[in-house]
Structure 1
């Protein structure tokens, strides 16, 4: 029941904010913050995938995912294309999986 109420509230907020409040009517501070929303969400997903159930020690103990993230970071820095780092990380993880 709690999940249904939360899902309905989230859906309602999305509908209201998208349909009733267009982006050009938002305050300037909020519009500037919107440009940082996608990178922040992606960073949260990456950290969640990296840490998982192991806790904060997963950030310190190096593993194959750290190598994939490092390669993805270098590719992102070099090419400035959002798709290439994902492909590079998947390629590194695939090679490491095949080799192990």
Structure 2
């Protein structure tokens, strides 16, 4: 029951926003920001994964995760394909794990 109520509320909010407020009816300022929403959410997830329990110092001290992120960033910049950076980061993480 603890997870059911928030799940129903979240699903209901999504349905209402998608069906009753389509993107073309939003104010222009919000429409301009919509393309940046997914990358911002993904960046938040990545930072949370990098920091983990180590705290903000984990962002400064280089480690294998930073290498994987740099490689993923370069692959994303070069190929403009959403799947390739993920595959590159996973490959780097596997290589680092095997070599260490």
Calculate the TM-score normalised by the size of structure 2. Answer: 0.90
Q: Does 1:12 align with 2:30?
A: no
After TM superposition, give the deviation of residue 33 of structure 1 in Å. 1.0
Deviations 1:6-48 (CA, angstroms, capped at 9, x unpaired): 3332222111001111111111111111110010011011101
In structure 1, what is the equivalent of residue 98 of structure 2? 98
Gaps of 5+ in 2: none
In structure 1, what is the equivalent of residue 67 of structure 2? 67
In structure 1, what is the equivalent of residue 49 of structure 2? 49
Q: Does 1:35 align with 2:35?
A: yes
In structure 1, what is the equivalent of residue 81 of structure 2? 81
Q: CA RMSD in A?
A: 1.4
After TM superposition, give the deviation of residue 3 of structure 1 in Å. 4.4
Distance between the aligned counterparts of 2:66 and 2:76, measured in 1? 15
State the aligned residue count.
Answer: 100
Distance between the aligned counterparts of 2:34 and 2:8, measured in 1? 23
